[in-house]
Chain A
């Protein structure tokens, strides 16, 4: 088995004096979808932010494609090919759809077919009809699509996706699932933070259960499905 794309060992992070992550370890391999599931406040969002350098973090190892991310500024981490879609979407509301896509644009690595606005509009047909619309005039679901599309414009090798199903209509959640499958088909690895268990279970290869800033379980989705006691205790499902 090859080395993991994203390798996290013993990650700790805190906001001021409040520690949130306590020695968390996980791996993401090329082309797989890993669900990071856990209750509200368990540390899912902080994990993703710590990887991106948006929260000060310490770790024995925090590496992407073999390069350590510790101490790198956020923009350098992104340039290594790690995309980030934050939970509150963070669309530039003054900018149009096309301009939002432009902010994410980065050249693709050698030998890969780059994401273009046209390809992304096939993935998210809703966006194609509103290319000149400002972010402020879009629904939550449309903003979520745009946020993902914007990150894909950077042609990342892996994406950190923070609660893409939160607060959007069920029909669009379906669309998100399709989009994640399409990314996977393109070979983009996804680390998905989710509270929507059904959504996560439907698209992920593996799962990590996080509780109070630590990983309680790491294994295949089938194993977690089978372990009802653990699910009831840590996820309430």
Chain B
């Protein structure tokens, strides 16, 4: 192979590594101090890009030259830093003690809010920034042209690393930040006001995210998909490097940059697959990343189903509900039946997640993976094998279960926040595969023509079939939750060491839970595919995972039946409100934040709590 090509690829890798590091570095610093994985970090990056792409051209009009350009970049980063301060004071400060799941959900609520606000402020179109004055001409390297701006980026990564290193090692602020990373109570007992320390940290983290975004403007147009694209990569960098480790993030970014640059030669379509393999290898050898260390805090962070004495009235209520649902076709029109079918499908999807989160304490943030695998499994069977629905639905279930077995096999080695980020990354990989492997999956267009068999093709029979399958699956899952297997999972959720010391094989139980949950989610995905007649990569996306989480949160994470109620209410609200407004995401995001702050028990949880208080 031509050596000059290899050099250019390596340089490209270094340039993307630098950009990635600058952003991921902020994420890892914020996590180190606050122990919050800030989902909205990618949103800050996006705001940085939009701000710079809007601000820098104005400054260049005033006075053209490198000074205006770089001043614009810095000012944009500073603005984002101030937004970070606002986020800390208004939101994060209130959830430092909350369970990880709530922290992730609240910051994801912020992601949704920012997505709509960015469109409101900057408009819906992509904004391409100006090129940097003085760096427009490419330089020649080994006879090949290479953009000189990329060379500046390559240098920017180590410069930021150096400055952050100096800040953390050579200033009082840095010493206190590192001390607070380890022991917040002690630092307070020494007279240090943590609140200011945390706000300062958020400023630094947001500034770096904003800088990372602002530096992109000559390379890519600011667009509304930037936030979720970068956050998945930044998660990978921080996980591989070790959460909280700046040096680890740098090393991980370098490795990933090179893997992406040369991975193109192996997997031209999806470099993310290579990255995923790297992450799998690193975490298999070092579960806390290259430079991470085992979590010392935590243990009380899982929330989940509390034990309740089963009431006999629950049975009657359940049977009555099923009977009422079975009679629905007598009263409802076609549209209502379609909505009801979807609610049932999402109820099963959310319920399958409850087995992992509520029962197992395993905060899966990528449950869309299994929903999507089920949908794609069914659709692919129809498209490529000509399978009828009766064979395609089980195929989807098996594909989802197998995917859950694979993903589960190594995420069960992890815990807490690592598990959440890894499941999210796994779902993002599958999303990328579905999006990029056009020959097989149809890419962005997905697969169409996924219709049910003739006997089930009417609205009423399909509804009844969905109801039947959902009832059976939920019944089986409830049995599993209330079986010794479910108790073992709960024991492991509440205290790993105690569960292990009475002889429970944690990993085996959790792995099995992943497979069961994945298979159930796969069934719901398959049902969804046939109800719509098509599948597309969106089914595997982060918003799908968050839908399931929001249903859990809304219904009540500490209740068995919460997810079913949550699915119904959320889907109904979406159906009613979404057509009325273009700001659905803003509304949903604010609702999620409000629920975390004010209403963490959820609907069913609140009713249950009220009944217990009265008793």
Contacts and interface: CB of A to CB of B under 8 A. Distances in A.
A132 to B, nearest CB: 12
B125 to A, nearest CB: 47
Given A92-B179, A95-B178, A103 B185 contact: no
Given A90-B183, A92-B182, A93-B182, A74 B175 contact: no
A113 B130 CA distance: 59
Nearest to B192: A75
Given A75-B193, A90-B183, A94-B182, A103 B188 contact: no
Interface string A130-156: 000000000000000000001100100
A74 B189 contact: yes
A86 B178 contact: no
B458 to A, nearest CB: 57
Given A92-B183, A93-B182, A95-B175, A54 B190 contact: no
B60 interface: no
A52 interface: yes
B92 to A, nearest CB: 18
B175 A150 contact: no
A81 to B, nearest CB: 9
Interface string B181-202: 1110111111111100000000
B309 interface: no
Interface residues of A, number: 24
B185 A74 contact: yes
B176 interface: yes
A115 interface: no
B189 A78 contact: yes
Nearest to A135: B182
Interface in A157-200: none
A151 B178 CA distance: 18
A84 interface: yes
Given A75-B193, A75-B194, A79-B191, A102 B182 contact: no
A231 interface: no
Interface residues of B, number: 18
Contacts of A103: 175-176, 179, 187, 190, 192
B175 A102 contact: yes
B172 interface: yes
A105 B192 CA distance: 10
Interface in B166-222: 172, 175-176, 178-179, 181-183, 185-194
B182 A78 contact: no
A86 B189 contact: yes
Contacts of B191: 75, 78-79, 104, 106, 154
A90 B189 CA distance: 11
Interface in A30-59: 52, 54
A125 interface: no
A219 interface: no
Nearest to A147: B186
A105 B194 CA distance: 15
Contacts of A75: 188-194
Nearest to B176: A103
A154 B185 contact: no
Given A75-B191, A104-B191, A151-B190, 13 more contacts: A75-B188, A75-B192, A92-B179, A94-B178, A94-B182, A95-B178, A99-B179, A103-B176, A103-B187, A103-B190, A103-B192, A150-B190, A154-B191
Q: Which 4 A-B pairs have the closest CB atoms?
A: A78-B191, A74-B188, A90-B186, A92-B179
10 contacts: A75-B188, A75-B194, A78-B191, A84-B189, A92-B182, A92-B186, A95-B175, A103-B179, A106-B190, A106-B191
